């Protein structure tokens, strides 16, 4: 695969998926570290392992299964990515966002993303769920924006607007569902970093200063590509650990996966409610 994924490569993947399922999904779900059990509840599911899909980037990280699960959930036809790849695995930004472009070519209208994140906002505690209201594109601002390279006009313009990255109507719906189900829903800005090292205390103090409520290693590239291509987007962070601003604690991947067990039922309930109401 060349550095920049082409429309032809995207369409090869989309055509393959279309040939392997008769479902025509309206909603795409990307489920993060330790948060992907929702895919197991999908009815009439067709399963497509990532390694069978042409040009699809493959993950190596523990906690990320690798397949598409396409079927029915809460009255919607959904395409679910059980697992995703990250920039730190060595793929280009263009490669890690190929799945989102495939969703767009499959005529998906809405993308819901979840991730595990460190809580920078001092009011957050591990186990909380945060509605992502905006994001800080640290990696992209520093030169690795996923839209760098030839613009594919079929998706959107060269210089896409990002004033409303997350869809206001979908956010309103998520708040309503959380309230109805008595789930505390935090809100804030997700700061996307490359990883794979966790942040130093000085990094975290800086990230807090510039307005981050939660920090993680995914989501922002996918969401930018989604917005470029006109997808309506909704995102949730599961707060898996308190960001270590004073250097007094240690952050581990195991703790992130473990916290997913508390967070998953809450995110699942909200996502189910949103799907039901769409």
Active site residues: 33, 64, 86, 88-89, 116, 217-218, 241, 253
Measured CA to CA, the distance from residue 124 to residue 147 in angstroms comes to 32
| Residues in region 136-175 near ligand HPA by CB under 6 A | none
Question: Is residue 194 within the footprint of ligand HPA (CB under 6 A)?
Answer: no
Question: Is residue 38 within the footprint of ligand HPA (CB under 6 A)?
Answer: no
Q: What is the SS3 assignment for 4?
A: coil
Tell me how far CA of residue 112 lies from CA of 157, 180, 222, in angstroms. 23, 20, 11
> What is the x/- site pattern for ligand HPA, positions 67-106, by CB under 6 A?
----------------------------------------
Q: Which of 222, 206, 210 is nearest to 87 (CA)?
A: 222
Residues 6+ apart with CB under 8 A from 270: 129, 174, 177, 178, 181, 183, 185, 236
Minimum CB–partner distance for residue 171 and ligand HPA (Å): 22
Q: Which stretch binds ligand HPA (CB under 6 A): 5-13, 141-149, 160-168, 237-245?
A: 237-245
Question: Is residue 251 within the footprint of ligand HPA (CB under 6 A)?
Answer: yes
Q: Which of 119, 148, 147 is nearest to 224 (CA)?
A: 147
Number of residues that bind ligand HPA (CB under 6 A): 13
Minimum CB–partner distance for residue 251 and ligand HPA (Å): 5
Residue nearest to ligand HPA (CB): 118
The only residue of 243, 263, 270, 274 in contact with ligand HPA, by rule CB under 6 A: 243
Measured CA to CA, the distance from residue 219 to residue 242 in angstroms comes to 19
Measured CA to CA, the distance from residue 198 to residue 194 in angstroms comes to 9
By beta-carbon proximity to ligand HPA, the closer residue of 32 and 273 is 32
Q: What is the SS3 assignment for 248?
A: coil
Question: Is residue 240 within the footprint of ligand HPA (CB under 6 A)?
Answer: yes
Q: How many angstroms separate the first and last alpha carbons of the chain?
A: 37
By beta-carbon proximity to ligand HPA, the closer residue of 151 and 194 is 194
Half-sphere exposure of 113 (CA within 13 A, CB side): 32
Retrieve residue 267's tokens: 């995110």
Residues 6+ apart with CB under 8 A from 127: 239, 259, 262, 263
Torsion angle in degrees (nearest 10) through CA of 175, 177, 180, 184: -50
Question: Is residue 267 within the footprint of ligand HPA (CB under 6 A)?
Answer: no
By beta-carbon proximity to ligand HPA, the closer residue of 199 and 213 is 199
Question: Is residue 256 within the footprint of ligand HPA (CB under 6 A)?
Answer: yes
By beta-carbon proximity to ligand HPA, the closer residue of 9 and 241 is 241
Binding site for ligand HPA (CB under 6 A): 116-118, 198-199, 215-217, 240-241, 243, 251, 256
């Amino acid at each position: 695969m060349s550095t920049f994924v082409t429309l032809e490569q995207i369409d090869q993947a989309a055509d393959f998926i279309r040939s392997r399922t008769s479902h025509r999904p309206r909603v795409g779900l990307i489920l993060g570290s330790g948060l992907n059990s929702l895919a197991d509840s999908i009815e009439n599911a067709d399963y497509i392992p990532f390694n069978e899909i042409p040009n699809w980037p493959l993950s190596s990280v523990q906690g990320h299964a690798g397949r598409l699960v396409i079927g029915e959930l809460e009255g919607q036809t959904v395409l679910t990515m059980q697992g995703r790849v990250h920039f730190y695995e060595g793929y280009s930004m263009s490669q890690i966002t190929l799945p989102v472009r495939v969703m767009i070519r499959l005529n998906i209208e809405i993308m819901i993303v979840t991730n595990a994140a460190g809580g920078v906002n001092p009011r957050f505690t591990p186990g909380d769920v945060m509605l992502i209201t905006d994001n800080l594109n640290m990696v992209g601002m520093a030169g690795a924006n996923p839209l760098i390279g030839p613009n594919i006009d079929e998706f959107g313009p060269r210089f896409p607007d990002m004033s409303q990255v997350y869809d206001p109507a979908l956010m309103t719906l998520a708040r309503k569902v959380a309230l109805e189900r008595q789930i505390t829903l935090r809100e804030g800005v997700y700061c996307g970093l490359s990883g794979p090292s966790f942040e130093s205390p000085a990094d975290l103090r800086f990230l807090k200063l510039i307005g981050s409520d939660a920090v993680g290693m995914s989501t922002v590239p996918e969401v930018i590509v989604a917005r470029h291509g006109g997808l309506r987007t909704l995102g949730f962070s599961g707060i898996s650990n308190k960001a270590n601003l004073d250097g007094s604690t240690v952050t581990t991947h195991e703790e992130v996966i473990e916290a997913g067990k508390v967070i998953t039922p809450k995110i699942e309930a909200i996502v189910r409610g949103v799907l039901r109401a769409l």
